[in-house]
Structure 1
């Protein structure tokens, strides 16, 4: 009996350790919420909730696509630039003579065309990687650099200002009291999580990231899977770009999506998706983005400079990667 108890203790400790590693982001969010409710003035208000959700929504939308990319063992540095292209195209469409004369059609095209273009550019990333066997970080660096230039060419380097309530509903509208962009975020997270768990394509994504050679031998169409994953990442970036410009009532290709690739990668890392591929948690990426945003808000609301908040953010990412390494089998 004593031996059985001795064996049971380490097993319990191991289970607790695994639980903490698996749900680290959620546990940290609960701790931060408790701290803020107790210490931060005016935290328990609808306005505070609204600010944090709206600020994190675009990061999560981009993180959905980034999670799928990283699940295949890749990376996508172009998402910020694709946001800039999407955000530059939309006003160009509904501010054109045709768009002004046919407002409903112009607004529909202002959604469909930019998102479609961003998806095609994402597909180009996937094609470039699979056709020439280029490392993803190098291949996506092409549009990371050139994409923002394309956005500036589209707008002639000018700030595009507009007022279009129908189009701007995606960023400023509310449904049942919730910001529309938050509902878009939740819908995309739910769709991606369902796809990973319930569809053949989701299993193929994880198979490619887990062991590409074995997946190819098992009949998985590795190249098409990678191409479509990068296309999905582009589509997500396109949606996020439209949300940003609709909120700002303007489009500036120099600023839209700036640094978004780093925020999305950070959310995925903190959320528990390993950079080695083969595993993915879209809900974890949502929690990772919420954790980073909530931590930044907590520090700023309690008088900590933003520069220090960035240092803490970097430390959290380093801790998340370290935790992933420890949880991997040796």
Structure 2
């Protein structure tokens, strides 16, 4: 007699192996692991501290900006101005610590102000983005396009379009310094990611962000101050863009308003999408953004290290974004 047990359907509630679900939930982690394994197999000197250091220093600014972008996208918005805000912060800092804006009683004061003023200026401009979105009811992509266009021009006006070269170790520590051998910017990145992840999961503000992105009308009817939350989210995005701008100019020992933050808005959005945050809002993962940024950086590094032109990395980045969005759609179904 045939064994009929093998033909019976699975018991109700029994776990089932669903490849689509696994790819949707853990696709970014699987892709990162595969990238590392491929590099260990084909890329010379991949498993070295020098290679790790190169990739870390290249990805930190993207992750920091990506955290702010994650919060904005979680509310159903978008921020195209992040690269321009980086340029503004990067232009202001040397003007301050080099004493070109006002006389400094002591160099240390100039360094302190160079850390504070540019970041606050970027945060204020981020708040302005939020004001356009919430008070004037302008669509986020249009509202942030204003500073995307004008912001870099403002930075160029500050510097008269000139490259600002400097050598100031006390300021450059944010981009070149190390803590127990680890790049300080990587430590700062980890702190920011951890704080944002905790905020999203453990605070009322974090739950409000996700509620607004999930259903803004329902969130408003439930008493959530939608306008206030959105403005704070855009302010945070601007603040983090300012920090990233300081890291970039400190790492390069120069500030170029034409290049600082150029294309950063696309890298940040790509990291958010690849990491698993829904581009329509309502669900966000800051850790996923970190993983997404690492994937994009490793793809570029892998291609360059193996003699593939940088243009191919752009094509690969686009393909990764398309795949990430497709996986999101499968997960929503």
TM-score with structure 2 setting the length: 0.95
SS of equivalent to 1:132: coil
Task: Indicate yes or no: 2:222 matched with 1:218.
Answer: yes
Partner residue in 2 for 1:24: 27
Among 80, 85, 100, the alignment partner of 1:82 is 85
Q: Name the SS for the 2:199 alignment partner.
A: helix
Change in Cα spacing, 1:152 to 1:274, as seen in structure 2 (3 Å) is same
Deviations 1:1-40 (CA, angstroms, capped at 9, x unpaired): 54655468995232x4312211111111111111111221
Deviations 1:273-319 (A, max 9, x none): 01110000000000000001111111111222211121111011000
1:44 aligns with 2:47: yes
**1:238-284, CA deviations, whole angstroms, 9 ceiling, x for partnerless residues?**
00000011011111111100000000000000000011100000000
Name the residue aligned to 2:73.
70
Q: Is 1:284 matched up with 2:294?
A: no
Equivalenced residue count is 328
What is residue 246 of structure 1 aligned with on the other side?
Answer: 250
Equivalent position of 2:142 in the other structure:
138
What whole-Å deviation, never above 9, does each CA across 1:32-52 have from its counterpart, x for those lacking one?
A: 111111221111110000000
Q: Which whole-Å CA distance do the structure 2 matches of 1:112 and 1:18 have between them?
A: 45
Runs of 4+ more than 6 Å apart: none
Extract unaligned runs of 5+ from structure 1. none
1:54 equivalent to 2:57? Answer yes
Quick one: which of 267, 270, 284 aligns to 1:266?
Answer: 270
Deviation at 1:136, TM superposition (A): 0.2
Paired position in structure 1 for 2:168: 164
Shift of 1:197: 0.5
Kindly tell me: are residues 227 and 3 of structure 1, through their superposed partners in 2, closer, same or farther at Cα, counting changes over 3 Å? farther
Q: Distance between the aligned counterparts of 1:4 and 1:100, measured in 2? A: 82
TM-score by length of 1: 0.96
Structure number with the higher helix fraction is 1
Instruction: For 1:59 and 1:303, locate their aligned partners in 2 and report how far apart those are by CA, in whole Å.
Output: 24
RMSD: 1.6
